[in-house]
Structure 1
């Protein structure tokens, strides 16, 4: 199996601007750097890093001649380039870090898979604990949260798991265990991270899905990514920040339900 071949010739340093304490959406970008073995700086672990982050998202920041101001992290600075939005950053980094399946239109197929994982296992999951309004605390919408979660684990979780099971069963995935082209891409890392977070948040529902035997390829894929040498080493370090009740993936015991409840 070919290893990623990062393009690092005469490259300026990669700088990730993201929150400290939570893995959040910045984790997808970290995993790409880790898997590719490419150095990067990370404001989450740099003294004064949060000051840097707040400067970028300040209402006083108007950007510059070529870079509009970002709305929110994650933000990537690479030389004179400043871009934001997780899928946008991944689309930029994937080919550069050797995490794209091939050439030409392959990157858009990989991107579609990554976007689907982010839709189902990140955006929808996040909205399970904030179904009414982002600016309201969870405690202010608990009743609505439980109603949404019960519906999500019954209908949406099997929908997305079933989709990725079909992808991994299809010929376009290659000989496996990867999602596309028979090689590991940034979509595989995104799918791993989103499923990992979802498994933290909805432990009973994901465990039931695994035990059902309907999604064996999905969970084999998860273990295959987790076993990658650089990923495994990273997951065992403090740089792999723990989930908490401040990020995308939050554990509330009262929301840890299975579809039949």
Structure 2
């Protein structure tokens, strides 16, 4: 089966977490919105019994699966991107849900008041939110993943193979380095295991071609945005 992935064109966003799993797993898919933005709006407007709320969503035959963690749960079980046992699959899903909490908080740094308003309309609250995020939330989340790796070993689910949660943590590190380079430079000496995981994912043979291709979209106006005034040591 060739899956249809639907996500906004031009930004990596939440869709990138799904792309990384599809690419690393060697899973055939079409990045439909990159073929036509108009097609995405038309597909979103289709009458469905179980419609997606918003991209990303994955069409797999008769299944339409929304929400990043839900899509990855499906791919993980079907394509061996997560442990085979139930406890292991639930653990990786828990890791992914925690990652998505961090992603949501990173987004809300530059949009703390209203999603529909421009960043320039909420700079004051964003400065306050950014300071809290840098000083408290980033070390809390990343420190927890560091401890998990201390317990589990090289990969978040233990064992000798990566899971989709490892790919997602790689993407978070990439995004935080882009959005908060000064803060990450301060934190990373205390996050040796997280940094090692990032390097290990970047070195995966299955991802090398994708990561160096133009299919890998750069950061910009998506979830992870770099505003120098929001960064700090």
User: Shorter-chain TM-score: what band?
Assistant: over 0.9
**Is 1:177 aligned to residue 166 of structure 2?**
no
8 A contact 2:58–2:71 mirrored in 1? yes
TM-score relative to the length of structure 2: 0.96
1:4 maps to none
CA distance in 1, matches of 2:34, 2:41: 15
Secondary structure in structure 2 of the residue aligned to 1:135: coil
Structure 1 residue runs of 5 or longer lacking an equivalent are: 1-11
Secondary structure in structure 1 of the residue aligned to 2:30: strand
After superposition, residues 234-253 of structure 1 pair within 5 angstroms as 234-245=210-221, 247-253=222-228
Instruction: Answer with 37-46 or 80-89: which moved more.
Output: 37-46
Secondary structure in structure 2 of the residue aligned to 1:105: helix
CA distance in 1, matches of 2:228, 2:86: 46
TM-score relative to the length of structure 1: 0.86
State how many pairs are aligned.
232
**Is 1:135 aligned to residue 116 of structure 2?**
yes
2:44 maps to 57
Structure whose CA Rg is larger: 1
Match of 2:169 among 172, 191, 194: 191
Name whichever structure is richer in helix by fraction.
2
CA distance in 2, matches of 1:99, 1:228: 14
Residue deviations 1:125-152 (CA, integer Å, cap 9, x gap): 0000000111111000001101110111
After superposition, residues 150-229 of structure 1 pair within 5 angstroms as 150-170=131-151, 173=152, 176-182=153-159, 183-210=161-188, 213-229=189-205
Residue deviations 1:6-60 (CA, integer Å, cap 9, x gap): xxxxxx32110111110110001110111111111002432xx2222102323xx
8 A contact 1:101–1:184 mirrored in 2? no
Task: Tell me which stretches of 4 or more aligned residues in structure 1 moved more than 4 Å.
Answer: none
How much does 1:159 deviate?
0.5
8 A contact 1:110–1:187 mirrored in 2? yes
Structure 2 residue runs of 5 or longer lacking an equivalent are: none
How much does 1:97 deviate?
1.8
